[in-house]
């Protein structure tokens, strides 16, 4: 075979190009099938659930078949109340994320860059972060009342600590040589912040943002259980109070869809804006 390749240069070129062509084909196939792969496990779970409900293996009074939940979901899509609940919950979540993530980002950067700030705030963060945020919900309601501000604040508190810790960890993971290079090149303090510290901390910031959206949804639903008259969480609680199970599962499905959508949007933004952070082999 080796002698044939030497005698015939075109064969050698074909043999050399074949691995690259196969790699491109595999990459293309992976890109096409990638979005579908994430649906395999949910579809399998739904099919097993549907089969168990139809076979009578589970109590449909508590675990209605997915087809029944889907029919209820379709009916609710054409009601005004569904969109009001969804809009209010999204508004509360986004405002709470903004109120908590921006201060957390700034404090995390400051803690990573300045030792005195780290010494001053790290003990407080370490002591307050483990406190269950839902446990302070009664205090938040007592201070801010049953209005919208209490929902914003409870989400912001949970998001603040996570964003602070993840940003701080991201800054501390930057190798000191990068700061030395920036200093030797005459970069100002603000240039060092925006060209070294912030880009270097991006992996930690994005990871924190992914976690924050999930925690924000959890805290928001808990707040809407007890302190709201509209929203996805309120609708879930109301369905439980009247023992109408299908709308309750619809609300749970909406929360799950929102969590998936936010995670996908963050991943998409990361691929679009910061492609160097992605591992091309994955």
- Quick: pLDDT tens for 87-109: 999 999 999 999 999 999 999 98
Question: Has residue 125 been placed in a domain?
Answer: yes
> What was the pLDDT predicted at 5?
47
pTM for the model: 0.79
Residues 121 and 214 grouped into a single domain: yes
- The answer to whether 202 and 170 have CB atoms below 8 angstroms apart is yes
Residues 22 and 146 grouped into a single domain: no
Task: Tell me the CA end-to-end span of the chain in Å, nearest whole number.
Answer: 34
Its domain, for residue 14, covers 2-28
What is the per-residue pLDDT across 171-222, written as a single tens digit (0 to 9) for each? 888 888 888 888 888 887 788 888 888 888 888 888 889 899 999 999 999 8
Residues 249 and 131 grouped into a single domain: yes
Residues 99 and 179 grouped into a single domain: yes
The beta strands (E) that lie in the chain are given as none
Residues 217 and 110 grouped into a single domain: yes
Residues 102 and 239 grouped into a single domain: yes
């Amino acid at each position: 075979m080796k002698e044939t390749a030497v005698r015939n240069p075109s064969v050698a070129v074909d043999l050399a190009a074949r691995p690259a062509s196969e790699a491109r084909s595999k990459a293309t196939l992976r890109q096409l099938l990638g979005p579908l792969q994430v649906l395999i496990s949910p579809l399998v779970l739904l099919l097993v659930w549907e089969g168990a409900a139809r076979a009578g293996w589970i109590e449909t009074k508590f675990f209605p078949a997915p087809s029944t939940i889907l029919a209820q979901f379709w009916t609710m899509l054409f009601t005004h109340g569904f969109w009001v609940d969804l809009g209010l919950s999204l508004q509360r979540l986004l405002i709470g994320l903004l109120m908590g993530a921006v201060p957390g980002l700034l404090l995390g950067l400051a803690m990573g860059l300045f030792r005195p700030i780290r010494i001053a705030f790290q003990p407080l963060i370490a002591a307050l972060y483990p406190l269950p945020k839902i446990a302070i919900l009664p205090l938040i309601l007592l201070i801010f009342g049953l209005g919208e501000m209490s929902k914003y604040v409870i989400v912001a508190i949970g998001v603040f600590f996570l964003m602070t810790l993840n940003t701080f960890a991201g800054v501390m993971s930057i190798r000191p040589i990068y700061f030395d290079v920036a200093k030797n090149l005459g970069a100002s303090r603000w240039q060092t912040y925006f060209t070294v510290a912030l880009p270097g901390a991006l992996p930690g910031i994005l990871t924190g943002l992914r976690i924050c959206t999930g925690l924000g949804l959890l805290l928001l639903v808990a707040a809407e259980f007890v302190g709201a008259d509209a929203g996805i969480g309120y609708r879930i609680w109301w369905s439980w109070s009247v023992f109408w199970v299908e709308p309750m599962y619809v609300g749970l499905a909406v929360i799950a869809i929102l969590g998936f959508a936010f995670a996908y949007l963050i991943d998409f933004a990361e691929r679009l804006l910061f492609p160097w952070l992605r591992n091309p082999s994955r």
